[in-house]
Copies of this chain bind each other. A is one copy, B any other.
Amino acid sequence: MDRRAIRTDLALEERERIQPEEGEVTGVKMDACEEGPDVCVTRVRILDGTGARAMGKPEGTYLTLESARMAKEDEGYHRDISEIFAGKLRELLPEGWNSLLVAGLGNHSVTSDSLGPRVVDNLWITRHIEKQGKMVSGIVPGVMAQTGMESAEIIKGIVRETGPDVVIAIDALAARSVRRLGTTIQLSDTGIQPGSGVGNHRNRLNAETLGVPVIAVGVPTVVSAAAIVYDTIDILAAALEGNQETRGLSETIRAMESQEQYQLIQELLLPRLGPMFVTPKDIDAVVKRLSFTISEGMNMAFFA
């Protein structure tokens, strides 16, 4: 089964897929998780074109903050995460920036896709007040079904008109594993790629297209429904393998990819699941909490 078909916006998940055990992937460097108090920060660096092709993601640095406690209601803990996030964001921000645009991507009307709009709602916006110091502006461009335009088109236009030194694009992400939902924040200096985010942006949003550095911040809030199919098959194969009598079946299932029967799954199940995603039942609480954690972290990173 080729899990490549299942998109993940997390560099960490992609890295683990390629080489789950210890070992190096050419062109990719992963730093051991820095254990903080109840949080783990991993740094994946894609160093060159070889790494980029292997990972299906552009060269650059990807930081992942992970903790099961993020999904819990705990004000003190979320304040700690905001501070760690602020520190990591400062690492990625270009030195000496004066003006900054935060773009809250995604759809305010779909709970699992509303992270970006919610973050912008809680930011300290100062560009219209400050004449010097840190000028922060924010935009919620909406999604294509609402605007008829790509977010990238809208943001490009605004960047050209208002000339910020740096853009931060914040978006809800798709992960491969349900364990990541609401427990992970990813920061990268690579911008947004086509096909990423819950809403599948078509256009690139990066230093090349905008002319200024683009930092991407995201939280996985959905898993593609197709991922469940692959998880099921994996576990089924593992289950069969565990037993002497059925071990042969396991190999058969694992080998199905090359067989024509496998097409049944491809043809019958995946098309129906293609336009579906999997999300936690308490997604409203998850998004409310993490959008606040991130906006507070941004306020700290910008002004503290």
A residues adjacent to B (C-beta < 8 A): 107, 109-112, 120-121, 125-129, 135-142, 144-150, 153-154, 156-162, 178-179, 181, 198-199, 223, 225, 228-229, 231-233, 235-236, 238-240, 242-243, 246, 249, 252-253, 256, 259-262, 264-265, 268-269, 272-273, 275-285, 288
Contact = CB atoms under 8 A, between A and B. Distances in A.
Centre residue among A159, A160, A179, A281 by max chain B CB count within 10 A: A281
Contact of A148 (B138, B142, B262): B138
B273 A228 contact: yes
A148 B160 contact: no
A164 to B, nearest CB: 10
A242 B225 CA distance: 25
Contact of A225 (B157, B228, B233): B228
Centre residue among A141, A149, A272, A277 by max chain B CB count within 10 A: A149
Contacts of A154: 139, 157-158, 161
A277 B281 contact: yes
A162 B157 contact: yes
A232 to B, nearest CB: 4
B249 A236 contact: no
A261 B246 contact: yes
28 contacts: A110-B284, A125-B147, A127-B149, A128-B148, A137-B148, A138-B147, A138-B148, A154-B158, A157-B161, A160-B161, A178-B225, A178-B276, A229-B231, A231-B269, A233-B236, A235-B264, A239-B261, A239-B264, A239-B265, A242-B261, A242-B264, A243-B260, A243-B261, A246-B252, A275-B280, A276-B281, A277-B281, A279-B279
Given A129-B148, A153-B158, A246-B252, 9 more contacts: A125-B147, A125-B148, A153-B162, A154-B157, A225-B278, A231-B269, A238-B264, A239-B264, A246-B261
A233 B235 contact: no
B139 A142 contact: yes
Contact of A280 (B121, B129, B276): B276
B281 A275 contact: yes
A20 B159 CA distance: 48
Given A236-B233, A243-B261, A261-B240, A282 B145 contact: yes
A97 to B, nearest CB: 15
A59 B55 CA distance: 56
A249 B110 CA distance: 42
